[in-house]
Amino acid sequence: MFSHTRRPLKGLVILTGILAAGATLADSTQNAPGAACVAINGASLTVRDDGEAENRTASLVTAICPAERPIGTGTTTTLSGRVFVVDQSTTSEVCCRAVSKNPLGAKVTGAWQCSTGSSANYQALDLASLSDTYTFSSFYLECQVPALSGGNASRIQMYRATQQ
């Protein structure tokens, strides 16, 4: 009889744990290497042995860097990000933005954030947030990486996607 009276409490503890776990899904931050980014429109990025992705071509490359969006209890609706880049171009900047797109083709884009000046050191680009309440939309970061400049390649070192 004593164990029978404890079962509802045990169930309440489990339910509370599940609800607490679901609530934490709404705030999500993930880091990913630049190698997770994919060049689009037939272009290519070279993946380095340190997980960074660089543009070793003579043309600007646009890359999409995926952000997994949790769905269910606590579904996220806001995306922002930080991209760590090395801009070695003397004529162009590395530029990135947050993007949300749903299967119907509707796209929500954040403002472009660009590097400043050419340097072998990294720069952190803080991306403006965007909001999309449609749960069937996907989130990603989009970056434009300049062409080779004087034999030096610009690159995406890593990125952080933050969702709320």
CATH 3.40.50.300 applies to domain 27-163: no
What are the pLDDT digits (tens) for 80-96?
999 999 999 999 999 99
d(CA 39, CA 53): 10
**Residues 94-124, buried b or exposed e (16+ Cβ, 10 A)?**
bbbbbbbbeeeeeebebeebebeebeeeebe
Name residue 116's beta-bridge partners. none
| Model confidence pTM above 0.85 | no
What are the pLDDT digits (tens) for 24-62?
445 789 999 999 999 999 999 999 999 999 999 999 999
> What token pair was written down for 51?
């997980």
Neighbours of 48 (CB within 10 A): 16
Write down the pLDDT at residue 39.
98
Question: For the chain, what are the domain ranges?
Answer: 27-163
**Residues 125-163, buried b or exposed e (16+ Cβ, 10 A)?**
bebeebebeeeebebbbbbbbbbbbeebbbbbbbbbbbb
Please check the confidence at residue 2 and state whether its pLDDT lies above 90. Answer: no
